[in-house]
Every structure is written in structure tokens, then in C-alpha cells.
Amino acid sequence: MNNQEYYDRLGVSKDASQDEIKKAYRKMSKKYHPDINKSPGAEEKYKEVQEAYDTLGDEQKRAAYDQYGPSGANGFNGGSGGFGGFDGTAGFGGFEDIFSSFFGGAAQRNPNAPRQGDDLQYRVQLKFEEAIFGTEKEVTYNREATCHTCGGSGSKPGTAPVSCHKCHGQGVVTVDMQTPLGTMRRQVTCDICHGTGQEIKNPCLTCHGTGHEKEKHTVSVKIPAGVESGQQVRLTGQGEAGFNGGPYGDLFVMITVQPSDKFERDGSTIYYTLNLSIVQAALGDVVDVPTVHGDVELSIPAGTQTGKTFRLRGKGAPKLRGGGQGDEHVTVKVITPTKLNNAQKEALRAFAEASDDSISKPKKKGFFDKVKDAFEGE
């Protein structure tokens, strides 16, 4: 039973705080997010990180995982990998609790209690500038909504659900299982009411007894300035409808930012490559440099070399946390001309000669040149 693997996936120790686990998750999920990392295996790593955080990010699930490993965490979640029929609301105090739950002795949650609806995820692609300055997007998606006819009860208007005749409103029934140890008893979800504890004798004609109906939902999303790919905006109550009068789930809007053809970005810092001619680099110049905030003048000192970096303070992206503005780093690249006319060539030769450059010095004669000169001298 390996109860260390999830910690390894997030790169944290077993005694890490919830804050450290959350920070590690954000870092790792951004690193392997399939919209950012296109390398083979990245998507699978992203799923593994998500699975680890789903358990370690919850104190109760984490305690179950630390004590019993993945099977304990799955059992706490009521998943297929755990103990059959185990209900996390019954508590997770130790082996006795698991044993009691396995044999049907644990308390069951109220099947008619309000439950929150499922969360949804929606992806939004932003232009580079939209991510810098923030924007507002209108998104439309399909979701399960509370039935407008029955108000979510599932019953035809004027009627009401009744207690399930098989489970008597408990949502579960007790069954006997034959095992090598003898007959064992456990609780399973009722096959008549499917765990709701209620039977609908007169189903609603709109939702056919489910209490939900499909709808096309539109909502406006305010994207804050400074967002990056992999980050998300949470809209409370914009997910799917709840059950038994429970609240709607949430909508998580995942951000993807298109790359810029001019700039590179790392957090709040923006990078730009400035091409200069050899004349500008040698003599110096005043040039206009693009930034996301508009062009600014930059003085280039004489003798500037390729690789020289200038910092334009406050011309980067907004800082999402802590406020303020990042900087833009401008890196110089001196461009060597590839096609010269005769006048330009002569000017460069004159420059080389005036600079005592080796280009103006006569080439040293070789052996065959000396032989040629000897014959010509006769």
C-alpha cells in the first residue's frame, strides 16, 4: 500500500501544510497543462497531478490516504476502488469504522438532503492583449437546470413523490453475500429509487421525473488583467442544478492565451527583441520601441553590442497578486547587412582603412605569387 505517491506527484513532503500543497498543485498543473505543455505524456502527468490534489487538498480524504493509501481514499469518496457501500459521511475513524460500514452497520446520509449540483468547466481563448489588460467575455454552454415545470421535484404539478416502498425512504437496502467466511451482509443503493429514497408515481412531462432539464445558458465572465494560460476564473452557482433543492454547482473558466508575434511573457515581465543596424549600434540613436502600452522612445548609446538589455519600468503586464506593474526587457540584436551596393562597400572599406582594420591591408603573397613575380621581372 503506497501512501507516498500522491505527495511525490506534487513534490511535497508528507507533513506539508495545505497552503504548501495548494501552491505545489498550482505550479505542477501549470507545468503540465495540455494547453501549455504539448510534449508527449504531459496530459497524463496533468491528470496524475489533479488526482493527487483531489485527495491531498481535502483534509479528510488526506487522512484516509495517509492511513490506508489510495484504496482508503477511494473508499472515502465512495468510489469503486474502495470498500463497497462505504459512505464518507459516516466518518473515517479507523478499521472498526470500515468493518462496520462493510457489514452495513454505519449510519447513512439522508438521501433526501439537499445536495449541490456538479461543477462544469469551460475553456476561453484570449488574445495576448486581452490577457494583459483584462476583458469581459460572454460564454454560452449547455447545462442541467432545475425543471421549470415541476421546480425540481420530478413529479407532475399537483402531485408529490412518495417514500420508496422497497427501501422505505432510506435510499439503500441490505443484501446478503456468500463469501468464504460465510454469509456477509452489506448495504447497496436501492434499485427502485436509485438512492433518492422516493418514488415518483406521476413523473413530470417535461423532465420525465429527473427534476432537471437541459438548457443553453449564457453568462458574462470578467477576466482580470494579468491572467495567464492555465489559470481559471470561478463563477459560483453557474454549474449544474442541485438535487433536493440544493444549490447549483460552479463554473470554472479555464484560460488559454494566444502567443504574440512581437512579445514574450513570463508572469508580469514582457520581453522584446530590438533589431538595430550596425550604424545605429555604432553611432547611437533614439528609436521607438513597441510596448503593450504603446511605443516609447529609447536612447541607444554609441557602441551598443548585440545582447545588451534595457529595462522599461512599468511597461510590462499587471501583477495579479500584490498589485503594480511589471517591466519590459528590451534586448538588442545588431543586424549585419547581407546585400551591399558598390557605394556601401567602398564606404565600409574606407571605414576599415581609417580604422587600421586588417581588411585594408594587402594580403600576404604565397609561394606561387612569388614565382609569378620572378618570371614577370625577367
* C-alpha–C-alpha distance, residues 220 and 287, integer Å: 41
* C-alpha–C-alpha distance, residues 154 and 161, integer Å: 8
The answer to whether 44 is annotated as binding is no
Contacts of 332 (CB under 8 A, 6+ apart): 274, 276, 281, 300, 304, 305, 306, 307, 308, 309, 310
Single-letter amino acid code for the residue at 318 = P
Backbone dihedral angles phi then psi of residue 314, each to the nearest 5 degrees: 75, 10
The answer to whether 204 is annotated as binding is yes
| Order of strands across the sheet that contains 264-266 | 264-266, 269-277, 328-335, 309-312
Can you give the chain as a three-state secondary structure string? CCCCHHHHHHCCCCCCCHHHHHHHHHHHHHHHCCCCCCCCCHHHHHHHHHHHHHHHCCHHHHHHHHHHCHHHHHHHHCCCCCCCCCCHHHCCCCHHHHHHHHCCCCCCCCCCCCECCCCEEEEEEECHHHHHHCEEEEEEEEEEEECCCCCCCCECCCCCCEECCCCCCCCEEEEEEEECCEEEEEEEECCCCCCCCEECCCECCCCCCCCEEEEEEEEEEEECCCCCCCCEEEECCCCCCCECCCCCCCEEEEEEECCCCCCEEECCEEEEEEEEEHHHHHHCEEEEECCCCCCEEEEECCCCCCCCEEEECCCCCECCCCCCECCEEEEEEEECCCCCCHHHHHHHHHHHHHCCCHHHCCCCCCHHHHHHHHHHHC
Torsion, CA 22, CA 26, CA 28, CA 29, rounded to 10: 120
The answer to whether 217 is annotated as binding is no
The answer to whether 244 is annotated as binding is no
The answer to whether 147 is annotated as binding is yes
The answer to whether 167 is annotated as binding is yes
Provide the annotated binding site: 147, 150, 164, 167, 190, 193, 204, 207
Residues marked as binding for Zn(2+)? Answer: 147, 150, 164, 167, 190, 193, 204, 207
